[in-house]
Amino acid sequence: MATAQVFDSKTFCIITGGSRGIGRAIAVTLSAKFGPGSVLVLTGRSAADLNETQRQVQATAPGVSVNVITADLSKAETLSDSFSSLTKAVNPSDFQHVLLVNNAGSINDMSRYMRQITTLDVDNLQQYFMLNLTSALLLTTHFLRTFPHREGLRRTIINITSLAAIKPMKTCGLYCMVKAARDMMMMTLAAEEPDVRFLNYAPGPVDTDMYREICNESIDQELREMMIGVETNNVLLKPHQTAEKLALFLEGDGYESGAHVDYFDVPEKQENSSS
């Protein structure tokens, strides 16, 4: 039996951090390409923002069922219940394609450099790593167990990464660390699970709350000037632009599983690798 195609298949999709920004844009863009009977599950911390994403998805993809689940992925004590809610009452055999987008994340405190981190920061470090790294690992393994190999089933897992995974950014050391770790997590999973498609997608410089935080709050003048220059030089992207490029790249399906791919690496048009 041939593996289901990326789009136009009956799909079950989870997107973390789906309440705004890149997560919302990915939800709206990808859901419009899902087949009839597909299910989209969105998670985030703001119920109001999740409901707005749901409204936008239903306006463009009325044939897709959208479930929203408010969850805080930084809290270890509630992770198990949160993950169970995401896949509650799902029959894996109902779907031709299952897709997980690990998008949730946050920037670290940019009011100091890494040398200033001390043992007094242990609790904050644990919470930061839980949200930005540990929860992504545990959700990914939960997803793989929920949807084991089945003939004809396509399984895709996307990690929204960053240039910061491969290039240091002063005052953003913790963010760089978790992005690099998540990239390697995906590369290792790709080696262990060859029948699953894994992708580290760096969305490029996007006009989001995080971008504005870096511009306004980093104590490093060089970084602030570099980030502000992105907008000044008209390189700053809108969320829908990077979501559309991700969809184009997925449809082409020519990437090496586990690869780190940047927005600017993806050509405007691609031929499917199997064509």
Res 272 pLDDT > 90: no
Q: Which residue has the higher pLDDT, 268 or 91?
A: 91
Cα separation, 7 vs 269, whole angstroms = 16
* CATH code, residues 11-206+239-263: 3.40.50.720
pLDDT digits over 4-13, tens only?
Answer: 899 999 999 9
What pLDDT was estimated at residue 105? 97
The mean of the pLDDT values for the chain is: 95
pLDDT digits over 125-155, tens only?
Answer: 999 999 999 999 999 999 999 999 999 999 9
Residue whose pair of structure tokens reads 């894994």 in the numeric block = 198
Lowest mean pLDDT among 20-24, 65-69, 76-80: 76-80
3-state secondary structure of 102: strand
What pLDDT was estimated at residue 2? 73
Q: Which sequence spans correspond to the domains of the chain?
A: 11-206+239-263
pLDDT digits over 153-163, tens only?
Answer: 999 999 999 99
- Using a 10 angstrom Cβ sphere, with 0-12 exposed, 13-18 middle and 19 or more buried, the burial of residue 185 is buried
What is the helix (H) or strand (E) element at residue 16, kind and residue range? strand 11-16
Percentage of the chain surpassing pLDDT 70?
96
pLDDT band (50, 70, 90) for residue 114: very high
What pLDDT was estimated at residue 268? 64
What is the helix (H) or strand (E) element at residue 200, kind and residue range? strand 197-202
Cα separation, 113 vs 115, whole angstroms = 6
Based on its alpha-carbon atoms, the radius of gyration of the chain, rounded to whole angstroms, reads: 18
